[in-house]
């Protein structure tokens, strides 16, 4: 393999890709999808978060709440009863305009310093605030109180939730599901890019021309792999950035992004070694879309909806399930050593097997590349 | 680059190649001198392209040996690539890229400076269209571009597989002129064709290939003379018709007959001869006579 010829082929393929409007549209599709999802999210999330607050002492908690939610609208009341009557008791079912209610004692911070364990009453409307947001808010309040006074716990936080979401129906965290879906869709692009480039060389008979130049068949394949790998990585990172996917456990998200890229490139290489026409690769890519899409429904928030059933078990056969599971866990901040190693190990093993299989098939083709 | 010691740019000895049970080339031997244009002529499926593929190192022969531009086609494959230029039967260009980018890509592969692109574009008269995508080019322009690409690295040996196929007469003529110009510059050319006129006009030596075998190999003139008839058709002025229209008569003379030789001398002396036609065979007639098949 010669670096000069490999880079020359990669350079040519990049230019050819840019001049091909049809394939460029497909290649940029995940970015369009990411932007679309961001737009939908912005539209859905544009309603203000109304907070009913009793805060006679102008406590810093108010500021903390403003920072924790987007587009916060504070409505001040004169008595704690006004807040209580707007929400009702814990677990009550009630239509309420307000997302949050707060009853903060007048001398909250002073009592914290005096170690008197002041009580903070928080009302949460489950129709507007999901479990994760609720947990994050409670964590932020606890952190705030610890900054003012120690030892722990300096305050008693009493939380009352009205319209609580069902334990297995947490469908509100769609943003996370969107991020996962768009990222997996972006991997699909890499899978069709490499075989597309390889087969076009065969179909247009330009591979014959390359075989009488200093380029070897390995250089041709290597050049295409390089383009596919770089493009796929950039695409996945851009998509993640647009979707705000760099949240949760970022290094693990990045690890699975790299693994996903390598996986899709390996599958693409295998397809390029098996199929001889663009239409055959197109048909394969169409079917292969499902191996990326299906796992979305059995990991993360959707898994709670679907539960454990035969369909879930079938999906677990796919390597992309472990890819999706790894990403979903990392995005939710729930990736531990055990599940990360399991998911990552299975994906890595599949990459190695698929890559070796593709290389074996391509080595057979190398001897007759000039007459393909 | 290593100097080529031999006077021959191609020395093929008993080359053989099969594809499955089909024997595409059956023991072909021939040689091509430096600076010569050699035409490999034959009908479709005769084994011309397979022979070129073996000589350019695209496929390995099943048997026999060949040296091209001083390199063994099997053992010195990488050196061979630097010394040959190949124009394929298909105009295999990158359609979306411009003519310049197609050539620049080859420059990147060979590690050549970009200035070389302008030189070859000028040579094939495509400099004006250098920035246009190849998909907008006519067949003739594409063919000139593939020739330009094959010449980028200044190979001493050029292989042209059916260079005139599918071209209009003007484009075909332009390609023939380019080939003659390259030959005049000292480049050895092996071309395959089934167009006998093209071979007759271009080649110093031709080989007839039929069913994987080389059935004849000589200069076009020798082949035509050896298979032609030594006869003359003489067109005579037979008399004057009304309205000043001349009346003509054709007679056939055998050049080896003493009486016919004397008759020709008399007719020349009388000044009655209006035209003379030799009965030299065309290359196509020679091919049919030698190979026993028509060109398709």
pLDDT score of B166 more than 80: no
Task: Based on the fold, state whether residues B222 and B235 are members of the same structural domain.
Answer: no
pLDDT of residue B274: 87
Q: How far is CA A292 from the centre of its chain?
A: 13
B294 lies in a domain?
no
Does the reported pTM lie above 0.80?
no
* Least confident among A222-226, A237-241, B8-12, B239-243: B239-243
B83/chain A closest Cα distance in angstroms: 10
Q: B111 to chain A: which residues are within 8 Å by CB?
A: 4
- Which CATH number covers residue B219? 3.40.50.300
Task: Based on the fold, state whether residues B111 and B201 are members of the same structural domain.
Answer: yes
pLDDT score of A44 more than 90: no
Task: Based on the fold, state whether residues B154 and B173 are members of the same structural domain.
Answer: yes
B291 lies in a domain?
no
Average pLDDT value over all residues in chain B:
88
DSSP string, B221-246: HHHHHHHS--EEEEEEEEEE-GGG-E
B107/chain A closest Cα distance in angstroms: 9
Q: Above 0.90 for ipTM, yes or no?
A: no
B286 lies in a domain?
no
Task: Based on the fold, state whether residues B164 and B246 are members of the same structural domain.
Answer: no
Q: Which domain holds residue B248?
A: 229-279
pLDDT band at B188; cut points 50, 70, 90:
very high
Task: Based on the fold, state whether residues B195 and B269 are members of the same structural domain.
Answer: no
At A234, is the secondary structure helix, strand, or coil?
A: helix
Residue that is last in its domain, among B226, B248, B267:
B226
pLDDT of residue A172: 45
Task: Based on the fold, state whether residues B45 and B184 are members of the same structural domain.
Answer: yes
Task: Based on the fold, state whether residues B192 and B128 are members of the same structural domain.
Answer: yes
pLDDT digits (tens, 9 = 90+) for B66-91: 999 999 999 998 899 999 999 998 88
| Closest of A158, A122, A160, A134 to residue A69, by C-alpha | A134
Mutant choice from A3, A209, A227, A369 vs B, greatest count of B C-beta within 10 A: A209
Task: Based on the fold, state whether residues B101 and B141 are members of the same structural domain.
Answer: yes
Task: Based on the fold, state whether residues B84 and B35 are members of the same structural domain.
Answer: yes
pLDDT band at A168; cut points 50, 70, 90:
very low
Query: What would the two tokens of residue A29 be?
Result: 């599709």
Contact B88 A213 (CB under 8 A): no
B49 lies in a domain?
yes
State which of A110-119, A173-182, B154-163 shows the largest mean pLDDT.
B154-163
pLDDT of residue A190: 80
Mutant choice from B18, B90, B95, B108 vs A, greatest count of A C-beta within 10 A: B108
Instruction: Return the sign of the alpha-carbon dihedral for residues A286, A289, A294, A297.
Output: negative
Task: Based on the fold, state whether residues B174 and B247 are members of the same structural domain.
Answer: no
pLDDT digits (tens, 9 = 90+) for A104-123: 988 888 888 888 888 889 99
Contact A209 B97 (CB under 8 A): no
Q: A205 to chain B: which residues are within 8 Å by CB?
A: 88, 90, 92
Q: A213 to chain B: which residues are within 8 Å by CB?
A: 81, 106, 109-110
Task: Based on the fold, state whether residues B259 and B222 are members of the same structural domain.
Answer: no
Q: How distant, in Å, are the alpha carbons of A347, A348, A350 from that of A321?
A: 9, 13, 12
Q: Which long-range CB contacts under 8 A does A352-361 form with residues at least 24 apart?
A: A354/A263, A354/A266, A354/A267, A354/A269, A354/A270, A355/A266, A355/A269, A357/A270, A358/A266, A358/A269, A358/A270, A358/A272, A358/A273, A359/A269, A361/A270, A361/A273, A361/A274
B189 lies in a domain?
yes
pLDDT of residue B231: 84
At B292, is the secondary structure helix, strand, or coil?
A: coil
């Amino acid at each position: 393999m010669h670096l000069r010829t490999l880079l020359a082929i990669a350079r040519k393929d990049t230019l050819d890709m840019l001049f091909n409007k049809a394939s460029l549209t497909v290649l940029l599709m995940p970015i369009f999808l990411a932007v679309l999802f961001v737009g939908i999210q912005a539209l859905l999330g544009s309603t203000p978060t109304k907070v009913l607050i009793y805060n006679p002492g102008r406590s810093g908690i108010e500021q903390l709440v403003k920072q924790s939610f987007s587009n916060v609208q504070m409505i001040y009341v004169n008595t704690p009863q006004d807040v209580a009557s707007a929400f009702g008791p814990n677990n009550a079912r009630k239509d309420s305009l307000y997302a949050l209610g707060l009853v903060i004692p007048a001398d909250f911070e002073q009592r914290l310093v005096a170690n008197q364990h002041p009580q903070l009453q928080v009302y949460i409307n489950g129709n507007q605030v999901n479990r994760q947001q609720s947990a994050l808010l409670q964590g932020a309040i606890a952190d705030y109180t610890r900054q003012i006074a120690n030892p722990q716990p300096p305050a008693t936080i009493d939380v009352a939730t009205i319209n609580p979401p069902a334990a297995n129906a947490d469908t509100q965290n769609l943003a996370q599901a969107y991020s996962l879906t768009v990222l997996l869709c972006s991997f699909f692009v890499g899978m069709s890019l490499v075989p597309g480039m390889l087969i076009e060389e065969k179909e247009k008979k330009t591979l014959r021309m390359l075989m009488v130049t200093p380029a070897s068949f390995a250089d041709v394949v290597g050049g295409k792999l390089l383009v596919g790998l770089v493009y796929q990585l950039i695409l996945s990172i851009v998509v993640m950035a647009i979707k705000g996917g760099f949240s949760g456990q970022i290094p693990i998200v990045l690890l699975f992004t790299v693994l996903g890229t390598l996986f899709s490139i390996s599958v693409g290489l295998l397809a390029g070694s098996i199929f001889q026409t663009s239409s055959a690769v197109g048909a394969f890519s169409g079917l292969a879309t499902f191996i990326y899409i299906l796992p979305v429904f059995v990991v993360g928030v959707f898994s709670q909806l679907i539960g454990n059933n035969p369909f879930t078990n079938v999906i677990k056969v796919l390597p992309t399930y472990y890819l999706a599971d790894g990403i979903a866990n990392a995005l939710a901040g729930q990736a531990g050593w055990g599940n990360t190693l399991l998911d990552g190990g299975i994906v890595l093993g599949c990459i190695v097997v698929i890559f070796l299989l593709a290389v074996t098939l391509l080595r057979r083709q190398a001897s007759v590349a000039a007459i393909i | 680059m290593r100097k080529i010691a031999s006077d021959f740019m191609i020395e093929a000895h008993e080359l053989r190649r099969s594809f499955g049970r089909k024997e595409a080339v059956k023991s072909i031997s021939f040689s091509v001198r430096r600076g010569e244009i050699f035409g490999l002529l034959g009908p479709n499926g005769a084994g011309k392209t397979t022979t070129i593929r073996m000589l350019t190192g695209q496929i390995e022969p099943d048997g026999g040996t060949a040296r091209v531009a001083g390199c063994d086609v099997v053992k010195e494959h990488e050196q061979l690539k630097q010394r040959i230029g190949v124009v394929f039967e298909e105009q295999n260009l990158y359609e979306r890229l411009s003519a310049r980018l197609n050539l620049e890509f080859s420059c990147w592969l060979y590690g050549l400076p970009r200035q070389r692109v302008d030189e070859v574009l000028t040579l094939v008269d495509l400099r004006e269209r250098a920035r246009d995508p190849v998909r907008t080019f006519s067949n003739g322009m594409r063919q000139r571009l593939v020739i330009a690409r094959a010449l980028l690295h200044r190979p001493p040996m050029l292989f042209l597989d059916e260079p005139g196929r599918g071209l209009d007469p003007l484009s075909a003529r332009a390609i023939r002129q380019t080939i003659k110009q390259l030959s005049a510059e000292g480049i050895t050319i092996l071309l395959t064709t089934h167009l006998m006129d093209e071979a007759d006009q271009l080649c110093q030596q031709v080989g007839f290939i039929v069913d994987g075998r080389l059935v004849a190999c000589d200069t076009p003139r020798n082949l035509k003379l050896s298979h032609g008839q030594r006869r003359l058709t003489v067109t005579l002025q037979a008399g004057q018709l009304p309205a000043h229209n001349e009346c003509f008569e054709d007679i056939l003379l055998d050049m080896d007959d003493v009486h016919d030789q004397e008759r020709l001398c008399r007719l020349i002396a009388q000044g009655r001869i209006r035209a003379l036609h030799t009965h030299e065979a065309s290359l196509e007639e020679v091919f049919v006579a030698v190979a026993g098949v028509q060109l398709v």
